[in-house]
Structure 1
Amino acid sequence: MQTFRARSSVVWGWIAVGAGAALALLHLVTVGFSRGTGGFGLGVAAIAVGTAAFLRPRVEAHDDAVVLRNTTHAVSIPFARLGAIETRWSLTLVDDAGRRWGAFAAPAPGAAASMRRPAGEDDASLGGRPSDRPGTASGDAAAMVHDAWEDWRAGHPDGESDAAVERTPDLVGVALAVLAIAGGAWGLFG
Structure 2
Amino acid sequence: METLYGAIDDGAIAVRTPKHAKKELEAYLDCGLLCRGFARLRCERCEESRLVAFSCKGRGFCPSCLGRRMCATAANLIEDVLPEVAHRPWVLTFPFPWRRRLAQDGASFGVLTRIFVESVERFYEERAARRGACGAVKSGAVTVVQRTSGDMRLNPHLHVVFLDGAYHEDGTELVWNELGHLRTR
How high is the TM-score relative to the length of structure 1?
A: 0.26
Task: Give the number of the structure whose residues are more often helix, by fraction.
Answer: 1
Task: Give the number of the structure whose residues are more often strand, by fraction.
Answer: 2
How high is the TM-score relative to the length of structure 2?
A: 0.27
Task: Tell me: higher relative CO, structure 1 or 2? Use CA pairs within 8 A at least 6 residues apart.
Answer: 1
